[in-house]
Amino acid sequence: MKLDIIAQLVQILKDAPDVGAIEIRRGWFGAWSSVRVSKAGHGANTEHVLVTQPRAATEAGVGAVGAVAAAAPAAAPSHLLEIKSPMVGTFYSAPEPGAQAYVKVGSRVNVGQVVCIIEAMKIMNEIESEVGGMVKEVCVQNAQPVEFGQVLYRVDPNG
C-alpha cells in the first residue's frame, strides 16, 4: 500500500469523529490487502467494514479509500451480539460431512462452546463462542468462504 493512501486514511481518522480505528493488513505474500474501519466505541455491537483489494489495485492507489467510504455494513438489531470469523477460510457448520451442525437457529450457546470450524490452509480450526445466549441467525452457509471479521452468527444474550 502506498504512503499517499495511508496518509488519506489517517486524514479520514482526523476528519471523522465517529471513526475509531482503521486497520490495514497485507495478505499472504502480498497478494491482497484489506482495510478495516471501525466506529468509535468499544461496545460489543461496534460496526465494522472490511474491504479487500487485489494487491495491484492498492499499489496503484485505485479505490482503497473510495471503497471504504462506499461500503455499508448490514445493520443488525442492536440487542443481538455477533460471533465473527477470526480468520479467512472456509466455514463448516459441522465437525464432518453428514454430521449435525454444531449450532443452528434456536440453539443455546455458552462462552467457550465450539460453534463451527473454519478451514484455513488445510487446518481445521474450531471456533469457540465468545458470547452466550440463543442463536437467532446463522449468517453464512456451510462450505462458504468467509473473511476476517465476517459475522457468522447473531446471538440474543437474553434468549
pLDDT at residue 133 in the model: 95
Count CB-CB contacts under 10 A for residue 145.
Answer: 12
pLDDT at residue 33 in the model: 58
pLDDT tens profile 66-93: 444 444 445 555 789 999 999 999 999 9
Residue 101 has pLDDT above 80, yes or no: yes
From the list 111, 110, 93, the residue with the least C-alpha distance to 102 is: 93
Contact by Cβ (8 Å): 65, 5: yes
Residue 146 to residue 56: CA distance in whole angstroms: 22
Its pTM stands at: 0.53
Residue 150 to residue 143: CA distance in whole angstroms: 14
Higher pLDDT, 110 or 20: 110
How does residue 58 score in pLDDT terms, banded at 50, 70 and 90?
A: very low
From the list 121, 101, 99, 107, the residue with the least C-alpha distance to 159 is: 107
